[in-house]
Chains A and B, each alone.
Chain A
Amino acid sequence: MSTTILKKRILIPGRVTEMTLDAPEIAAKAKPGNFVILRVAEDGERFPLTIADADAAKGTITIVYLVLGKSTAILDSLGEGDAVLDLCGPLGRATDIHKVGTVVCVGGGTGIAAMHHIAKGHAQAGNKVVSIIGARSADLLLFEEELSKFSHEVLIATDDGSKGQKGFVTQVLKERLESDPEVKEVVAVGPVPMMRAVAEVTRPFGVKTVVSLNSIMVDGIGMCGACRVRVDDSIRFACVDGPEFDAHKVDFGELMMRLGSYVPQEKQSYKCYCECHGKES
């Protein structure tokens, strides 16, 4: 099915954009943790984006993306009323949400948007949600307002100290774990180095920690194994067995290596696209 873009909102000019898509079937089934696969051009690739929010009543889903390469650049060239060629979902296993008490949700970069849907799910299940979000500087923070609607607290870390605590989210998380014995679970979504660092911070505390992995995918429905990750020393598919896994069991080194599989081709594709469209890559 193709789908219409109902709303386009620039969250960080030149970087991060939010789109609301008309997708009633997907919205009706979407749960926190799910993702969609998109294709934005006839010769385009299939690429996954986490569902940042879903509204079953309105029949809409929200996606948030950072323009990183050709496919996201094409997506970004579309506006309200335009159609996304192919949209498929909701895919992946939903977040395992139970009422446990206090849950700390950590988000970095565009991962904050993906974390938002999970955090919201935890809040709706009756958990006390502490959101910790981080970016290089205050102007690159996302979803602070949305998160504060249901979070008990929203803690902020910026690299340059322009907002919240100066430093990384992991430092804020560590201090929280040291001072708050009620934290029952930690969820982290963001760049791989951040998720790996979060896993190392929580490990000594023995707190259950879940990460959402952003492997390279082709079909997204368990058919190819491109997204395979090593978890607890066995091969799992991020698309159907995940995308969320126990952070303490994920082989992040292998994930980083596999994410680099097509970097030269990705650069080549994006460069060609930019040259054809008079943009800076």
Chain B
Amino acid sequence: MAKKAKLLPRVSMPMQDPHVRSGNFNEVALGYTLEQAQAEARRCLQCKNPTCQAGCPVEVDCKAFIREVAEGRLDEAYKVIKVTNSLPAVCGRVCPQEKQCELRCKLNPTGQPIAIGRLERFVADSYYAVNPCDAITGGDDCKLLREDLKVACVGSGPSSLTAAGYLAALGVSVTVFEALHEVGGVLTYGIPEFRLPKAIVHTEVEFLKRMGVVFKTNWVVGKTVSIQDFFDQGYKAVFIGVGAGLPKFLNIPGESLLGVYSANEYLTRVNLMRGYKFPDVDTPVAAGRQVTVLGGGNVSMDAARTALRLGAEKVTIVYRRTKEEMPARLEELEHALEEGVILENLAAPVAFNGDEKGHLRSLTVQRMELGEPDASGRRKPVPVEGAFFDIPTDLAILGIGTGPNQVLLRETPELTLNKWGYIQADPETGETDLPMVFAGGDIVTGAATVVLAMGAGRKSAREIARRLGLL
């Protein structure tokens, strides 16, 4: 009997040294070399009945593209990915693969699943199709854009970009309307450079432009133009992907003190407005020395790691439960800890305290302990009576979640909302209560992941294409 080949471990990802990277905004993960990528790809079992693809919200044919990588055909690998995933360089970086494709990998039980995300990133970074249409349609040209088939995408985050790419490949004239002065949505204002370089987003957007997608910035749909205006102007369908951008506040004393930011404000000032270059740019951002970040999700990790890079002496994340319950990706949490971020778990904010001029000086928190499990199955944090203490801080960042942005919703009262205030849309098609108006991404689900938004954009685009008689 042949001896079973020993399973090699995953090829590890080259990283910037934590002590170096906490002082710069360059990307943390450096990416595989060709040799590393091929070594990792060759570990793939090429299962007869692969399960990884079903774990992907946009159904990338992982097995096929990994085989192409193993054999060194990166152009073919790219085409395989690009058929279903319009933003592979983004997904390879920010998807939680450990909960998706890699979770379903048959090697996962060994603790060494194929590093599908890293391979996807490698392919996307190494090979950009010279002709974007070839990668999608397999032909020299995109189907000629049909002037009579106009679709509007509202917002330019991952769901809209995905819908736009899918439809443009079928010959639809797509216009993307973005409220800010730069496109990309959360990829631009939210996710920091060290996790997702803006050049990557820029390249993906350029790709869509070459396919004929038109981008209009500074258009606030609901304000500058209404959904009904689109139909009056001859658009056949509208896709709404405006995200969940309304920051939540705690409603505790002192929240208006100078030095208390929502994570959205902090990250927007740094990422979109490049406030870290002040005074070379005009938008300042508070450079805290002792920074406190509230909340335990990915946005909090991004804010904490950004604060370190802006020169903070100490960055503390305050979270009500324990490390185990933190909703952030384990990888992001580990990166933050490696860089020197401190965790203050089982602590809940009670009040912000300032000086006579209104500058934040400290945060009072109450010690918590874990009680009985709540509805979500997690043990509920309960306050320890009388156990209060102060954390000295001159910059506090609230990463405690977001809600639906109201701008479009208030101006479009005919859209039906669900009980949480998000747009009610058919989970299979994304269609709303308004005919030929579709919605997807965080404005339907509440804050979730980039790839889930992309999956929703793709579903809606497919349904729009079907309704327009293109499928």
- Chain A interface residue count, CB cutoff 8 Å, equals 42
Q: Which of A23-58 contact B (CB under 8 A)?
A: 25-26, 29, 39, 41, 43-46
Instruction: Tell me which of A218, A240, A257 contacts B273 (CB under 8 A).
Output: A218
> Taking CB as reference atom, which chain A residue is nearest B246?
A222
User: CB-defined interface of A222-242 with B at 8 Å, one 1/0 digit per residue?
Assistant: 111110101000110000100
User: CB-defined interface of B402-415 with A at 8 Å, one 1/0 digit per residue?
Assistant: 00011100100000
Instruction: Tell me which of A218, A228, A254, A257 contacts B283 (CB under 8 A).
Output: A218
A257 to B256: give the CA distance in the assembly, Å.
Answer: 9
Instruction: Tell me which of B189, B217, B224, B255 contacts A89 (CB under 8 A).
Output: B224
B218 A87 Cβ-Cβ under 8 A: yes
A272 to B179: give the CA distance in the assembly, Å.
Answer: 30
Q: Is A162 an interface residue (CB 8 A)?
A: no
Which one of B257-265, B317-325, B447-455 is at the A interface?
B257-265
Known contacts A240-B406, A240-B407; can you find 20 more A-B pairs with CB under 8 A? A1-B219, A43-B277, A45-B281, A89-B220, A91-B223, A219-B189, A222-B406, A223-B189, A223-B264, A225-B262, A235-B251, A235-B256, A257-B357, A257-B358, A258-B256, A262-B284, A265-B279, A269-B278, A269-B282, A269-B284
B251 A43 Cβ-Cβ under 8 A: no
A261 B268 Cβ-Cβ under 8 A: no
Given A230-B256, A240-B406, decide whether A219 and B180 contact each other with a Cβ distance below 8 A.
yes
Q: Given the complex, which residues of A lie within 8 Å of B357, measured CB to CB?
A: 257
Q: How far is the CB of A250 from chain B (nearest CB, A)?
A: 13
Q: Given the complex, which residues of B lie within 8 Å of A46, measured CB to CB?
A: 181, 273, 283
Q: Given the complex, which residues of B lie within 8 Å of A43, measured CB to CB?
A: 274, 277, 280-282
Q: Given the complex, which residues of B lie within 8 Å of A234, measured CB to CB?
A: 251
Q: Given the complex, which residues of B lie within 8 Å of A223, measured CB to CB?
A: 189, 245-247, 264, 268, 405
Q: Given the complex, which residues of B lie within 8 Å of A111, measured CB to CB?
A: none
Q: What is the total of A-B residue contacts with beta carbons within 8 Å?
A: 120
B282 A71 Cβ-Cβ under 8 A: yes
Q: Given the complex, which residues of A lie within 8 Å of B283, measured CB to CB?
A: 45-46, 218
> Taking CB as reference atom, which chain A residue is nearest B258?
A261
A224 B256 Cβ-Cβ under 8 A: no
- Chain B interface residue count, CB cutoff 8 Å, equals 42
Q: Is A129 an interface residue (CB 8 A)?
A: no
Q: How far is the CB of A201 from chain B (nearest CB, A)?
A: 26
Q: Given the complex, which residues of A lie within 8 Å of B358, measured CB to CB?
A: 257-258, 260
Q: Is B216 an interface residue (CB 8 A)?
A: yes
Q: Is A6 an interface residue (CB 8 A)?
A: no
Could you list some 6 contacts between A and B, CB below 8 A? A29-B224, A85-B181, A222-B407, A223-B405, A235-B256, A258-B358
A222 to B245: give the CA distance in the assembly, Å.
Answer: 8
A39 to B181: give the CA distance in the assembly, Å.
Answer: 9
B218 A45 Cβ-Cβ under 8 A: no
A17 to B48: give the CA distance in the assembly, Å.
Answer: 73
Q: Is A70 an interface residue (CB 8 A)?
A: yes
B268 A265 Cβ-Cβ under 8 A: no
Q: How far is the CB of A166 from chain B (nearest CB, A)?
A: 35
Q: Is B249 an interface residue (CB 8 A)?
A: yes
Residue among A41, A89, A223, A235 having the largest count of chain B Cβ atoms under 10 Å: A223
Q: Is A86 an interface residue (CB 8 A)?
A: yes
B268 A218 Cβ-Cβ under 8 A: yes
> Taking CB as reference atom, which chain A residue is nearest B224?
A25
A123 to B401: give the CA distance in the assembly, Å.
Answer: 43
Q: Is A133 an interface residue (CB 8 A)?
A: no
A228 to B398: give the CA distance in the assembly, Å.
Answer: 14
> Taking CB as reference atom, which chain B residue is nearest A90?
B223
Given A86-B218, A269-B279, decide whether A224 and B265 contact each other with a Cβ distance below 8 A.
yes
A260 to B258: give the CA distance in the assembly, Å.
Answer: 9
Q: How far is the CB of B191 from chain A (nearest CB, A)?
A: 15
